[in-house]
Copies of this chain bind each other. A is one copy, B any other.
Amino acid sequence: MPIFSTKANFSKMNQDAFFMEQAVLLSQRHMEEGQGGPFGCIVVKDGVIVGRGWNSVLAGNDPTAHAEVMAIRDACRHLGTYQLDGCAIYTSCEPCPMCMGAIYWSRPEKVFYANTREDAAETGFDDSFIYDELVRPLEQRKIPMIAMDKTEALKVFRLWQEKENREQY
Protein backbone atom coordinates (compact mmCIF):
# COMPACT_ATOMS: atom_id res chain seq x y z
CA MET A 1 0.00 0.00 0.00
CA PRO A 2 1.49 3.36 -1.00
CA ILE A 3 1.60 5.75 1.92
CA PHE A 4 2.32 9.31 0.92
CA SER A 5 1.90 12.81 2.23
CA THR A 6 -0.03 15.43 0.36
CA LYS A 7 0.82 18.15 2.84
CA ALA A 8 3.23 20.00 0.63
CA ASN A 9 1.06 20.08 -2.45
CA PHE A 10 -2.47 20.94 -1.50
CA SER A 11 -4.34 23.59 0.37
CA LYS A 12 -6.58 22.19 3.15
CA MET A 13 -9.68 22.48 0.99
CA ASN A 14 -8.10 20.67 -1.93
CA GLN A 15 -6.81 18.02 0.43
CA ASP A 16 -10.32 17.02 1.48
CA ALA A 17 -11.42 16.82 -2.16
CA PHE A 18 -8.31 14.82 -3.03
CA PHE A 19 -8.86 12.31 -0.24
CA MET A 20 -12.53 11.90 -1.16
CA GLU A 21 -11.50 11.32 -4.77
CA GLN A 22 -9.21 8.52 -3.56
CA ALA A 23 -12.11 6.91 -1.69
CA VAL A 24 -14.38 7.17 -4.75
CA LEU A 25 -11.68 5.75 -7.04
CA LEU A 26 -11.34 2.73 -4.71
CA SER A 27 -15.11 2.27 -4.79
CA GLN A 28 -15.10 2.12 -8.59
CA ARG A 29 -12.02 -0.02 -9.10
CA HIS A 30 -12.97 -2.81 -6.74
CA MET A 31 -16.63 -2.78 -7.72
CA GLU A 32 -15.52 -3.30 -11.32
CA GLU A 33 -13.27 -6.16 -10.18
CA GLY A 34 -16.35 -7.85 -8.66
CA GLN A 35 -15.18 -7.60 -5.05
CA GLY A 36 -18.48 -6.16 -3.86
CA GLY A 37 -20.65 -3.06 -3.94
CA PRO A 38 -19.57 0.45 -5.01
CA PHE A 39 -18.08 1.69 -1.74
CA GLY A 40 -14.59 2.97 -0.89
CA CYS A 41 -13.00 4.54 2.17
CA ILE A 42 -9.68 5.92 3.36
CA VAL A 43 -8.36 6.95 6.78
CA VAL A 44 -6.03 9.96 7.01
CA LYS A 45 -3.81 11.07 9.88
CA ASP A 46 -1.76 14.29 9.73
CA GLY A 47 -2.27 14.51 5.97
CA VAL A 48 -1.07 10.93 5.40
CA ILE A 49 -3.25 8.05 4.17
CA VAL A 50 -2.94 5.37 6.88
CA GLY A 51 -5.77 3.02 5.92
CA ARG A 52 -7.75 2.02 2.82
CA GLY A 53 -10.79 -0.16 2.36
CA TRP A 54 -13.42 -1.14 -0.15
CA ASN A 55 -16.46 -3.35 -0.10
CA SER A 56 -15.38 -6.97 -0.51
CA VAL A 57 -18.50 -8.73 0.74
CA LEU A 58 -18.78 -10.88 -2.39
CA ALA A 59 -15.10 -11.71 -2.95
CA GLY A 60 -14.48 -12.44 0.73
CA ASN A 61 -17.80 -14.10 1.60
CA ASP A 62 -17.83 -11.63 4.48
CA PRO A 63 -20.97 -9.59 5.20
CA THR A 64 -18.92 -7.34 7.51
CA ALA A 65 -16.39 -6.42 4.80
CA HIS A 66 -17.77 -2.95 4.14
CA ALA A 67 -15.39 -0.22 2.97
CA GLU A 68 -15.32 1.62 6.31
CA VAL A 69 -14.81 -1.53 8.42
CA MET A 70 -11.95 -2.60 6.12
CA ALA A 71 -10.35 0.87 6.16
CA ILE A 72 -10.60 1.12 9.96
CA ARG A 73 -9.07 -2.32 10.39
CA ASP A 74 -6.32 -1.46 7.90
CA ALA A 75 -5.53 1.83 9.66
CA CYS A 76 -5.47 0.20 13.11
CA ARG A 77 -3.11 -2.49 11.80
CA HIS A 78 -0.76 0.16 10.43
CA LEU A 79 -0.94 2.41 13.48
CA GLY A 80 -0.76 -0.46 16.01
CA THR A 81 -3.78 0.75 17.96
CA TYR A 82 -7.52 0.20 18.23
CA GLN A 83 -8.25 3.93 18.44
CA LEU A 84 -8.08 6.39 15.53
CA ASP A 85 -7.28 9.50 17.57
CA GLY A 86 -6.78 12.53 15.36
CA CYS A 87 -7.78 10.65 12.20
CA ALA A 88 -10.25 11.68 9.51
CA ILE A 89 -12.32 9.14 7.58
CA TYR A 90 -13.29 9.80 3.95
CA THR A 91 -16.01 7.47 2.72
CA SER A 92 -17.75 7.48 -0.65
CA CYS A 93 -21.15 6.97 1.03
CA GLU A 94 -22.77 7.82 4.36
CA PRO A 95 -21.91 4.85 6.60
CA CYS A 96 -24.50 2.15 7.31
CA PRO A 97 -25.31 1.46 11.00
CA MET A 98 -22.68 -1.28 11.20
CA CYS A 99 -19.97 1.05 9.87
CA MET A 100 -21.24 3.95 11.94
CA GLY A 101 -20.89 1.70 15.00
CA ALA A 102 -17.34 0.80 13.93
CA ILE A 103 -16.61 4.52 13.60
CA TYR A 104 -17.86 5.30 17.11
CA TRP A 105 -15.82 2.43 18.57
CA SER A 106 -12.64 3.57 16.76
CA ARG A 107 -13.22 7.26 17.64
CA PRO A 108 -11.80 9.22 14.70
CA GLU A 109 -11.94 13.03 14.79
CA LYS A 110 -14.36 13.45 11.89
CA VAL A 111 -16.00 11.75 8.94
CA PHE A 112 -16.43 13.07 5.39
CA TYR A 113 -18.99 11.37 3.15
CA ALA A 114 -20.37 11.84 -0.40
CA ASN A 115 -23.41 9.68 -1.30
CA THR A 116 -26.20 9.58 1.30
CA ARG A 117 -28.17 6.70 2.85
CA GLU A 118 -31.07 7.67 0.54
CA ASP A 119 -28.79 7.33 -2.51
CA ALA A 120 -27.75 3.92 -1.16
CA ALA A 121 -31.37 2.83 -0.71
CA GLU A 122 -32.22 3.92 -4.27
CA THR A 123 -29.26 1.87 -5.50
CA GLY A 124 -30.54 -1.26 -3.74
CA PHE A 125 -28.67 -1.24 -0.42
CA ASP A 126 -30.59 -1.76 2.81
CA ASP A 127 -28.98 0.91 5.00
CA SER A 128 -32.22 2.82 5.59
CA PHE A 129 -34.09 -0.36 6.51
CA ILE A 130 -31.47 -1.18 9.14
CA TYR A 131 -31.55 2.36 10.56
CA ASP A 132 -35.33 1.96 10.91
CA GLU A 133 -35.00 -1.44 12.58
CA LEU A 134 -32.50 -0.29 15.21
CA VAL A 135 -34.98 2.09 16.82
CA ARG A 136 -37.76 -0.49 17.07
CA PRO A 137 -38.27 -2.28 20.41
CA LEU A 138 -36.36 -5.57 20.41
CA GLU A 139 -39.60 -7.57 20.40
CA GLN A 140 -40.78 -5.90 17.17
CA ARG A 141 -37.71 -6.53 15.02
CA LYS A 142 -37.80 -8.32 11.66
CA ILE A 143 -35.09 -10.65 12.94
CA PRO A 144 -36.48 -12.00 16.25
CA MET A 145 -34.40 -11.01 19.29
CA ILE A 146 -34.94 -13.50 22.11
CA ALA A 147 -33.92 -12.73 25.70
CA MET A 148 -32.55 -15.64 27.71
CA ASP A 149 -31.58 -16.15 31.35
CA LYS A 150 -28.61 -13.89 32.05
CA THR A 151 -27.44 -15.20 35.42
CA GLU A 152 -24.19 -16.69 34.13
CA ALA A 153 -23.50 -13.92 31.59
CA LEU A 154 -23.86 -11.25 34.27
CA LYS A 155 -21.32 -13.11 36.42
CA VAL A 156 -18.77 -12.69 33.62
CA PHE A 157 -19.50 -8.95 33.48
CA ARG A 158 -18.77 -8.82 37.23
CA LEU A 159 -15.52 -10.75 36.68
CA TRP A 160 -14.52 -8.09 34.13
CA GLN A 161 -15.19 -5.31 36.61
CA GLU A 162 -13.10 -7.09 39.25
CA LYS A 163 -10.26 -7.83 36.79
CA GLU A 164 -7.01 -6.19 37.81
CA ASN A 165 -5.20 -3.99 35.29
CA ARG A 166 -8.01 -4.33 32.83
CA GLU A 167 -7.79 -2.02 29.84
CA GLN A 168 -11.12 -0.21 29.48
CA TYR A 169 -11.67 0.62 25.82
CB of A156 within 8 A of CB of B58, answer: no
Residues of B near A17 (CB, < 8 A) are 148-149
The chain B residue sitting closest to A60, CB to CB, is B82
CB of A38 within 8 A of CB of B146, answer: no
Give the residues from 124 to 138 in chain A that come closer than 8 angstroms, CB to CB, to chain B: 124, 126, 129-131, 133-135, 138
The chain B residue sitting closest to A161, CB to CB, is B123
If A31-B163, A153-B27 touch, whether A82 touches B62 (CB-CB below 8 Å) is yes
| Total interface residues in chain A, CB < 8 Å | 85
Q: How far is the CB of A153 from chain B (nearest CB, A)?
A: 4
The verdict on A14 contacting chain B, using a C-beta distance below 8 Å, is no
Task: Pick the contact of A31: B103, B104, B135, B156 (CB < 8 A).
Answer: B156
The verdict on A37 contacting chain B, using a C-beta distance below 8 Å, is yes
The verdict on A7 contacting chain B, using a C-beta distance below 8 Å, is no
Q: How far is the CB of A167 from chain B (nearest CB, A)?
A: 6
Residues of B near A131 (CB, < 8 A) are 134
CB of A123 within 8 A of CB of B160, answer: yes
Q: Which residues of A contact B (CB under 8 A)?
A: 16-17, 20-21, 24, 27-28, 31-32, 36-38, 57-58, 60-64, 69, 72-73, 76-77, 80-84, 92-94, 96-116, 119-120, 123-124, 126, 129-131, 133-135, 138, 143-150, 152-154, 156-157, 159-161, 163, 167-169
**11 A-B interface contacts by CB (under 8 A):** A17-B148, A20-B153, A31-B159, A57-B169, A61-B81, A61-B82, A63-B76, A64-B64, A99-B101, A100-B101, A110-B146
